[in-house]
């Protein structure tokens, strides 16, 4: 149903709802079944710090936000969460924080990675810490980091400028270069975009799809825009599309990425679940194959306040995993434990790199 090499106009047409969503999602599931299987992999999410040096206009963690109780977890606290998740069968964890260039932060993360390599064999650590200097990525990789998620947010430089302050910290070019560096230095590389922000068109989202395909990424973590009260967004943009419109746009983006790539891991994100109570199932039925239960200790969880109404389940990790397994079985999907769930695309890409350099 999707042309082999879709044009921007063809993608925009489908994103606008010009085709059948049922057919689109079924085609995406067929591709997933062929390339990876009817499985769901888990990444245990640990929000290790809510500090950030940047000031993205839409984000509740932005540097200038007043009144947010900032925290950074000590490595020992992170070890304990990791060990608990490992005992339950998790073999991949995502360490996430705002963007900080300070060496203390990176050394703390490196200590966690080294501990994990020694104590939790067979685990793949995913990092989402924003842009770093190249030697920062190298140091984290040498310490045991294997996957890095750096969302481009907007492939359009003009939209990127609109929603990020015009200061020395924000550069669309530099962000693209960082993604390219991650890809060629051997990281499993992920990116993603923000979907349904006011003023964004289906043409912009079509460009995002083409960008993700052309960057040859291994993982996708994208989600709908969710408002964060108290950020400057209210002053610069009109209202966002209603939550269901943003949800459906995200599902169409998920299906289209699945159809335009081969063997990549695609997450059904917390933001999708925030806008729609069955957002995880809907994301999986549109071609996603990864979920990221939040393992951040309760004492910190509410303070990682990215946007309003963030979906949280205040239950033990054991019960959360059991419940997710039941929910996914009901839609014909098997939750996989004790397997880090490498994307086949990464193996292919590394073999290709070796051939080109060999």
What's the distance, CA 50 to chain centroid? 17
Q: Which residues pair with 194 in a beta bridge?
A: 223
Helices marked H in the chain: 8-15, 21-35, 75-87, 103-119, 134-142, 157-163, 172-184, 202-214, 233-236, 243-260, 270-275, 279-285, 298-301, 317-329, 344-357
**Considering the rule CB under 6 A, would residue 54 count as an interface residue with ligand SF4?**
yes
* Cβ–Cβ under 8 Å, residues 240 and 195: no
Least spacing, CB of residue 349 vs ligand SF4, in Å: 26
Q: How far is the CB of 230 from ligand SF4 (least distance, A)?
A: 13
Task: Work out which of 32, 61, 78, 106 binds ligand SF4, going by CB under 6 A.
Answer: 61
Tell me if 92 sits within 8 A of 41, measured CB to CB: yes
Taking the complex as a whole, the smallest distance from the CB of residue 52 to ligand SF4 amounts, in Å, to 3
Asked if residue 44 binds ligand SF4 (CB under 6 A), the reply is no
The yes or no reply on residue 172 touching ligand SF4 (CB under 6 A) is: no
> How much of the chain is helix, strand and coil, in % rounded to 5?
45, 15, 40
Residue 164 CB, nearest approach to ligand SF4 (Å): 8
Closest CA to 196 of 222, 166, 225: 225
| ∠ Cα 319 320 321 (to 5°) | 90
Confirm or reject binding of residue 175 to ligand SF4 (CB under 6 A): no
Alpha helix positions (H), 120-156: 134-142
Supply φ then ψ for residue 305, to 5 degrees: -100, 70
Binding window for ligand SF4 (CB under 6 A); candidates: 59-67, 85-93, 250-258, 310-318: 59-67
Judging by DSSP bridges, how do beta strands 223-224 and 194-195 pair with one another? parallel
**Cα 214 from Cα 249, distance rounded (Å):** 21
Query: Of 31 and 47, which has the nearer Cβ to ligand SF4?
Result: 47
Task: Compute the least distance from the CB of residue 210 to ligand SF4, in Å.
Answer: 23
Choice between 271 and 286, CB closer to ligand SF4: 271
- List binders of ligand SF4 among 99-138 (CB under 6 A): 99, 130
Is residue 63 within 8 Å of residue 55, measured between CB atoms? yes
Residue 85 or 98 with smaller CB distance to ligand SF4: 98
Is 324 among the residues that bind ligand SF4 (CB under 6 A)? no
Binding status of residue 94 toward ligand SF4 by CB under 6 A: no
**Minimum distance, C-beta of residue 332 to ligand SF4, in the bound complex (Å):** 35
- Find the shortest distance in angstroms from Cβ 340 to ligand SF4: 25
Q: How far is the CB of 304 from ligand SF4 (least distance, A)?
A: 9
CA distance 269 to 280: 7
Does 227 help bind ligand SF4 (rule: CB under 6 A)?
A: no
**Among 56, 209, 233, 292, contact with ligand SF4 (rule: CB under 6 A):** 56
Distance (Å, rounded) from C-alpha 42 to C-alpha 51?
Answer: 25
Among 32, 42, 45, 52, binds ligand SF4 (CB under 6 A): 52
Residue number with CB closer to ligand SF4 (59 or 284): 59
Q: How far is the CB of 54 from ligand SF4 (least distance, A)?
A: 4
Nearer to ligand SF4, 155 or 289 (CB): 155
Task: Single out the residue of 85, 98, 190, 293 in contact with ligand SF4 (rule: CB under 6 A).
Answer: 98
Q: Between 62 and 91, how does the x/- string for binding to ligand SF4 read (CB under 6 A)?
A: x-----------------------------
Residue 98: CB partners within 8 Å, gap ≥ 6? Answer: 49, 50, 51, 52, 53, 54, 61, 130
Q: For binding to ligand SF4 (CB under 6 A), which residues are involved?
A: 52, 54, 56, 59, 61-62, 98-99, 130
């Amino acid at each position: 149903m999707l042309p082999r090499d879709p044009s921007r106009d063809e993608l925009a047409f489908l994103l606008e709802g010009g085709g059948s969503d049922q057919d689109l999602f079924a085609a995406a599931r067929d591709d997933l079944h062929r390339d990876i299987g009817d499985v769901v992999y888990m990444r245990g999410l640990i929000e290790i710090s809510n500090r950030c040096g940047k000031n993205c206009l839409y984000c509740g963690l932005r540097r200038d936000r007043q009144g947010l109780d900032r925290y950074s977890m000590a490595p020992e606290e992170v070890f304990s969460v990791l060990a608990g998740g490992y005992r339950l069968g998790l073999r991949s964890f995502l360490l996430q924080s705002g963007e900080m260039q300070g060496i203390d932060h990176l050394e703390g993360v490196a200590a966690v990675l080294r501990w994990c390599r020694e104590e939790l064999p067979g685990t793949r650590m995913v990092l989402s810490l924003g842009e770093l200097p190249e030697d920062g990525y190298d140091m984290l990789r040498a310490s045991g980091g294997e996957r890095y998620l750096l969302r481009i947010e907007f492939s359009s430089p003009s939209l990127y400028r609109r929603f990020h302050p015009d200061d020395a910290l924000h550069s669309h070019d530099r962000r693209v270069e960082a993604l390219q560096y991650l890809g060629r230095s051997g990281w499993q590389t992920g990116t993603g975009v923000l979907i349904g922000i006011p003023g964004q068109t289906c043409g912009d989202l079509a460009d995002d799809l083409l960008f993700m395909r052309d960057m040859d990424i291994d993982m996708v973590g994208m989600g709908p825009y969710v408002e964060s009260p108290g950020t400057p967004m209210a002053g610069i943009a009109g209202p966002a599309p209603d939550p269901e419109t943003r949800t459906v746009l995200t599902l169409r983006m998920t299906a289209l990425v699945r159809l335009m790539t081969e063997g990549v891991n695609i997450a059904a994100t917390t933001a999708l679940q925030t806008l729609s109570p069955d957002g995880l199932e809907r994301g999986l039925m549109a071609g996603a194959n990864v979920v990221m239960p939040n393992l951040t200790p309760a004492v910190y969880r509410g303070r990682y306040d990215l946007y309003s109404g963030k979906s949280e389940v205040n239950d033990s990790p054991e019960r959360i995993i059991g419940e997710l397994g039941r929910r996914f079985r009901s839609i014909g999907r098997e939750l996989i434990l004790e397997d880090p769930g490498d994307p086949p695309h990464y193996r292919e890409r590394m073999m290709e790199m070796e051939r080109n350099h060999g």
